[in-house]
Amino acid sequence: MEERKHRRRPAASRRGARLSRSGHDGLKRGAGRAEPARPRRGCWEEPMKKKLAAFAGLAALAGALCSSAAMAQEEIKVGLLLPYKGVFAQLGEDIDRAWELALEQRGGMAAGRKIVLVKADTEADPTVGVRVANRLIRSDGVDVLAGTVSSAVALAVSDLSKRTKTPLVLALAVADELNAENCHPYAIRSGFSAHALQEGSGAYWANELQDKTAVTLGPDYAAGRAMIRGFVDGFTANGGTVKDQYWTVFRQTKDWGPVYAKAKDSGAAMVYAWYAGAESIQAVKQHAEFGLQDTMPLRGDQWLYDSALWSAMGKDTVLGARYATVYTSAAGTPASDAFVKAYSEKYGMVPNVTAGLGYDNALAVLDGIEAVKGDVSDGKAYVDAIRGLTIDAPRGRITFSDANSAQLEKLYLVEVAEEGGKLVEKLVKTIEPGKDLPGCKMDG
């Protein structure tokens, strides 16, 4: 960590300190033990006391002003932890762009202090994530950690955040454990929990289907398990039946044919899947190649049909797909329209859901800094301040639970449509989100 240069105290402060000491005559030595000497009394005593008090007051005022001015001049470093290569690289880039936009809109400042982003590539690997996060804290001297996509990375970095008392504001990591058994006072999530999104999605599809049967498909890791569990809870609670569940090995599965063959044999009405990044492309394309689009449609969420990946999936593959999302550029709210306009002008593209969540992450971090008036020295107080915020975000109004997880106000059901020769998200309706799983009581 960078050492901060010691600042010489203002002259008034040094003078006040000397005057304060001059008011004592020391100790009078006597038989047995030393006792405080009695001050001599004289006509000068009361005026001198008043002068000393005045000097002390001026010194305190000068010190406070100096401290405030120094804090205003100091940078606040935010360590942005994202995957910049690998299966989740696209998600990392989306969040990065949203962060840069949010900072630009605020002139790179919050509470009068310059905000410096220090970026690090987690590679979506927990070991790498902890290593680079530790470097950001120890060597780069960051005040706040933000970002993260992988829940496995987030869980590992969250433990480091707790041990070092460094505030961590999570963007995309959705694993329910983050606001349950693994929660602590130094970490907060600006995104949402897996259960809240997927329970709402599951309830919607159970109520839409005449044949209320499904099989599920997802990657065998924390976020994948959490996402599918949420769907199953919402689907079965509303009369649906899950006939079977299939899991693929993260980063290793290349051929989805075997699981689609099993799904076809199950006789279910649909396949519900959750994937993100490059794996979404393969899961969607191979489902179409297997000839199941008409007989056993593939349903999912915002990341299975991520708009940033449509061109790679193919127009005919995604056209007409319906899915639930926590944010869409078609939301039509003032905050969303302003975000879409600014993002499109800066980057020449419409923001997808991940960019929206990255923007939310930046708003939470920056609004939190404003709430503590630029003093992020107490990580717990800073996170407490974020928890007390209500954020007018592109996706809607964001509030936080006692377990430090952002709540979903609503979900958007969208359909991939074609307008003017381009694929767009068309808003069908808003639907009710599910709920977080039971949270935790904060410990130290």
Q: Token digits for 53?
A: 């008090």
The 10 Å Cβ neighbour count of residue 73 is 10
331-347 pLDDT per residue, tens: 999 999 999 999 999 99
Instruction: Please say whether the beta carbons of 395 and 324 come within 8 A.
Output: no
64: pLDDT strictly greater than 60: no
CA quadruple 354, 315, 275, 121: dihedral sign: negative
* pLDDT above 90 as % of the chain: 78
The residue among 269, 207, 274, 275 whose CA lies nearest residue 236 is 207
In the prediction, which pLDDT does 337 show?
98
The 10 Å Cβ neighbour count of residue 35 is 10
Distance (Å, rounded) from C-alpha 147 to C-alpha 189? Answer: 9
248: pLDDT strictly greater than 80: yes
287-291 — which CB contacts under 8 Å span 24+ positions? Answer: 287/256, 287/260, 288/314, 288/316, 288/317, 290/256, 290/257, 290/260, 290/261, 290/264
Distance (Å, rounded) from C-alpha 280 to C-alpha 328? Answer: 18
115: pLDDT strictly greater than 90: yes
What is the CA angle 224-145-220, rounded to 5? 10
Report which DSSP code applies to 191: S
In the prediction, which pLDDT does 444 show?
55
Report which DSSP code applies to 37: P
Instruction: Please say whether the beta carbons of 339 and 394 come within 8 A.
Output: yes
The residue among 79, 65, 66 whose CA lies nearest residue 379 is 79
Distance (Å, rounded) from C-alpha 362 to C-alpha 41? Answer: 63
Pick the more confident residue, 97 or 71. Answer: 97
Residue 10 pLDDT level (bands cut at 50, 70, 90) = very low
Pick the more confident residue, 359 or 59. Answer: 359
* Range 150-174 average pLDDT: 97
Residue 21 pLDDT level (bands cut at 50, 70, 90) = very low
* pLDDT above 70 as % of the chain: 83
- How much is the mean pLDDT over the chain? 87
The residue among 385, 309, 393, 308 whose CA lies nearest residue 358 is 393
Residue 2 pLDDT level (bands cut at 50, 70, 90) = very low
31: pLDDT strictly greater than 60: no
90: pLDDT strictly greater than 70: yes
357: pLDDT strictly greater than 80: yes
In the chain, the amino acid numbered 357 is L
Distance (Å, rounded) from C-alpha 443 to C-alpha 263? Answer: 44
In the prediction, which pLDDT does 25 show?
32
Instruction: Please say whether the beta carbons of 297 and 255 come within 8 A.
Output: no
In the prediction, which pLDDT does 7 show?
39
201-232 pLDDT per residue, tens: 999 999 999 999 999 999 998 889 999 999 99
In the prediction, which pLDDT does 371 show?
99
Ordered by where they begin, the domains of the chain are 11-24+39-71 (no CATH), 76-192+332-398 (3.40.50.2300), 195-325+411-431 (3.40.50.2300)
Q: Could you tell me the pTM of the whole model?
A: 0.82
